[in-house]
Structure 1
Amino acid sequence: MHLPSKAKRLRVYTGEWDKIGSQPLHEAIVEEAARRGLAGATVLRGVSGFGANSRVRTSKILVLSQDLPLIVEIVDAGEKINQFLTWLDGVVQEGLVTVEDVDVGFYRHKLGEKA
């Protein structure tokens, strides 16, 4: 797979407890991105944060793993990101979605592995 040098970075800010039906939202996003052939997806877990409802989520020992914040990050060509946004709009019930321009330095995979 080839990425253009000028691409888009999509970030979905959500929480561990957010779901689509019984499936965690972040897992559904990663699976759908793979199904659509996007370049890749990464899920990052935050140690603390809050969103529009101002409810602080933290990993402090007394409330360990209480709906910690997550960021799903995807980089790909602008047209593919824009198409994926349409699907996201139908599944993200709570959270924030951002899109930024990025410069791709390189995108590689080892020979013999699926791209």
Structure 2
Amino acid sequence: MMRPTGRAVRVTVFIGENDTWHHKPLYTEIVHRAHAAGLAGASVFRGIEGFGASSLIHTSRLLSLSEDLPVAIVMVDTEERVRAFLPQLDELVTEALVILDDCEVIRYIGRDPGSGETDAKGKKAL
């Protein structure tokens, strides 16, 4: 499977951690559909505090009653693949903020330290 390097589009979806799709977390469904669609990557980040359209502040502080913390799902791929995936997001989300950003992908690839490979200056890889 080819992975993008260079120009790409990042999709960020902001939802609440208590949002569900057929009795399971919505973020799980989004990640699994992104994987099935062949997107290059998706990650879920749980916020410690935030607010959205409701203007209600959700926080993880001990004395707070709020448990519906903010969640961000971040996905990256080519613009063509991302735009093809958007109808699935339309199906899944009823209340969310979805942001599309142009970005540049820089891919770091690990090397086997025992391979003896050297860099452009003749230094061995760590």
Matched residue SS, 1:66: coil
After superposition, the C-alpha distances for 1:22-77 in whole angstroms (9 at most, x for unaligned) are 01110000000111111111001111001111111100102376011000000100
The residue that corresponds to 2:100 in the other structure is 99
Q: Where does residue 13 of structure 1 map in the other structure?
A: 14
Match of 1:68 in 2: 69
How many Å apart are 1:105 and its aligned residue? 1.1
Instruction: Normalising by structure 2, report the TM-score.
Output: 0.81
| Alignment: residue pair count | 111
CA RMSD of aligned residues (A): 1.9
- Asked if 2 retains the 8 angstrom alpha-carbon contact of 1:50 and 1:56, the reply is yes
- Structure 1: tracts of 5 or more residues without a match: none
Show structure 1 runs of 4+ deviating over 3 A. Answer: 107-111
Distance 1:22 1:107, change over 3 A: farther
- Which structure 2 residue ranges, 5 or more long, are not aligned? 113-126
> C-alpha separation between the residues in 2 aligned to 1:61 and 1:96?
27
Amino acid at match of 2:78: A
CA contact (8 A) 1:3 1:107 kept: no
* CA 1:39–1:52: 2 relative to 1, 3 Å: same
Using CA pairs under 8 Å that are at least 6 residues apart, name the structure with larger relative contact order, 1 or 2: 1
